[in-house]
Amino acid sequence: MGAIFEQPVARVDNLVETLAMLRARGVRCLAAHPRPGAKKLATVDLRGDCCLLFGAEGPGITADALAACDDTVKIPMPSHMNSLNVAAATAVFLYEATRQRG
């Protein structure tokens, strides 16, 4: 409760354009996605400026938005599980970012 007052959140009209603008300003854009080749969360440096992108439950992140990100990052899970709901995944990512930032 109250975490919304601690984390910057933005609403945008065009996500792909916004990701490109952030990258041009030196902000790393990371998509939370369990696809093959995605980096494991604990191995990704989250200490600097970064934008974390999470998809809606069900449809996930669009291919255009994935392509506009610097990297895809996954939460390691057993092979019989393919994802967490977006709230749980966001909590894990924010915990890891907070842990790294000390």
* Segment 24-60, tens digit of pLDDT: 999 999 999 988 899 999 999 999 999 999 998 778 8
Sheet strands side by side (includes 39-40): 39-40, 71-74, 28-32, 50-53
* Residue 19 pLDDT greater than 80, yes or no: yes
User: What domains sit in the chain, N to C, each tagged with a CATH number?
Assistant: 3-101 (3.40.1280.10)
Q: Which helix (H) or strand (E) holds 73?
A: strand 71-74
**Global pTM value:** 0.87
Cβ within 8 Å of residue 35, ≥6 positions away: 72, 74
The whole-number pLDDT of residue 2 equals: 66
In this structure, is the dihedral angle defined by the CA atoms of residues 86, 74, 95 and 83, taken in order, positive or negative?
Answer: positive
* Distance, C-alpha 24 to centroid of its chain: 18
Q: Two tokens at 53?
A: 């992108």
